Structure 1
Amino acid sequence: MNKPKARRNRPRVVLGLTGSIGMGKSATAALFVKHDVPVHDADAAVHRLYNAGGAAAEAIGQAFPGSLRPDGSVDRDRLRQIVLDQPEKLQRLEALIHPLVAEESRTFLARYAEVPLVVLDIPLLFETGAERHCDAVFVVSAPPEVQRARVLARPGMTEAAFDAILGKQMPDAEKRARADFVIDTSLGFARAEAEVVALIARLTDSG
């Protein structure tokens, strides 16, 4: 990784954090928070946008009839069913959501412009081209059998749904090949935390 140059209205180092479903990305993001690194969670931003009164809820309800709950919030399970295996509908949804999430990300970066390191936690970082806004990318990974076992243990998850999600994500091997840093979360929590702490020290020149 080349040493990033300082830029106005933006932290000195922006680290993109990503990983396929079931790899332990959320747990890894929590480690950065634990060690005082601000994290912008793109999926949490989507949840806010989907809430009743959120910036995306009404537009999604109009674009995808039947996708809203009675309270006006987006029913994510129902919406997932509507766009499943429907590329045109998925593209339409992404065209609604991605600009709004990007705007939240810009606001986050401006808020922490004086901080030496921040993390952008983006599940589809490579798939959406968001890596171009990062100084480095950290990919969270695990062996395929560990990933599958973790995901299928989730309530309501099926083999078909898991395979459909994987089909929309860049293969893990390609993500690892494109990453600046990789962590294998199957090696245990203590190991993961030690690697995160070492990476923070490296990127902030404090170690």
Structure 2
Amino acid sequence: MIVLGLTGSIGMGKSATAALFEEEGVPVHSADAAVHRLYAGKAAPAVEALFSGTVVEGVVDRERLAARVLGDAEALKALEALVHPLVREEETAFLDAARARGEPLVVLDIPLLFETAGEGRVDRILVVTAPADVQRARILARPGMTPERFAAILDKQMPDAEKRRRADVVIDTSRGFDAARAEVRALVERLRRESPT
């Protein structure tokens, strides 16, 4: 089975690209979606213990949590030490199930793949990208996003140019869905042919 790592900086079109893989019948494990599930369940009590007042009715309030950890390196490190192992557990279960089904190809959607030294967990790396002005416009259009918050998030991420340099495949999402869909389809066909499964 080929494990394709999908990554890219914030606002580059990662989630939309992951959905294109799902359209092609490729199983996708999203680290972000796993965090959402964990924040609504298993991780909530531990997050509340670390950051009192960030859990509302049993669910982590992401805005309150962001206000506590963004710009505080120690707080962020503590949160990551709690959440990352739980996400990895879900990822391992996903991969085991896919292998058992005989899947030829799966996608791990990992926003901070390079930043968390995740290259060893995947066979190939796809980086999604877009020009900086497109990225900025996409992000600042999100509810609650400010230029300061955007800058703080970007500050934690490896520069886009370095991600592209390390990638096996790069897809520019600024050319629209049809172009991205065609590139994803061609990549899926090629990787399925290469898969030992």
Could you say which TM-score interval applies, normalised by the shorter chain? over 0.9
Q: Residue 187 of structure 2 aligns with which residue? A: 199
Q: Could you tell me how far apart the structure 2 residues matched to 1:157 and 1:85 are?
A: 15
1:82 to 48, 65, 68: 68
Using the TM superposition, give the Cα deviation of residue 92 of structure 1 relative to its aligned residue in structure 2, in angstroms.
0.4
Q: How many residues align?
A: 192
Give, in whole Å, the separation in 2 of the partners of 1:42 and 1:151. 19
Q: TM-score, normalised by structure 1?
A: 0.91
Shift of 1:129: 1.4
Q: Distance in 1 between matches of 2:3 and 2:105?
A: 6
* TM superposition score normalised by structure 2: 0.96
Shift in Å at residue 190 of structure 1?
A: 0.7
Q: How does 1:102-113 map to 2 (within 5 A)?
A: 102-113=88-99
1:26 counterpart residue number: 15
3-state SS of 1:176 partner: helix
The residue that corresponds to 1:7 in the other structure is none
Aligned counterpart for 1:148 among listed residues 123, 136, 142: 136
The CA deviation string for residues 158-203 of structure 1, in whole angstroms up to 9 with x for no partner, is 1011111101111101110110000000111111000000000110
Residue aligned with 2:60, SS: coil
Structure 2 unaligned regions, length at least 5: none
Separation in 1, partners of 2:3, 2:62: 29
Deviations 1:90-136 (A, max 9, x none): 00000000000001000000010010000000111111112211000
Correspondent of 2:114 among 123, 126, 148: 126
Structure 1 residue matching 2:127: 3-state secondary structure: strand
1:58 lines up with 2:45 in the alignment: yes
The one-letter amino acid of 1:68's match is: V
Provide the residue aligned with 2:161 in structure 1: 173
Structure 2 letter corresponding to 1:91: K
How many Å separate the matches in 2 of 1:176 and 1:63? 36
2:149 aligns to what SS in structure 1? helix
The CA distance in 2 between the partners of 1:156 and 1:164, in whole Å, is 14
* Secondary structure at 2:189 match in 1: helix
Identity of aligned residues (%): 64
User: How far off its partner does 1:150 sit?
Assistant: 0.7
CA-atom RMSD, angstroms?
A: 0.8
Q: Following superposition, which runs of at least 4 residues in structure 1 exceed 4 angstroms of deviation? A: none
Question: What is the CA distance between 1:84 and its match in structure 2?
Answer: 1.5
CA distance in structure 2 between the aligned counterparts of 1:165 and 1:99, rounded to whole angstroms: 21
Match of 1:4 in 2: none
Q: Secondary structure at the match of 2:55?
A: coil
> More helix by proportion, 1 or 2?
2
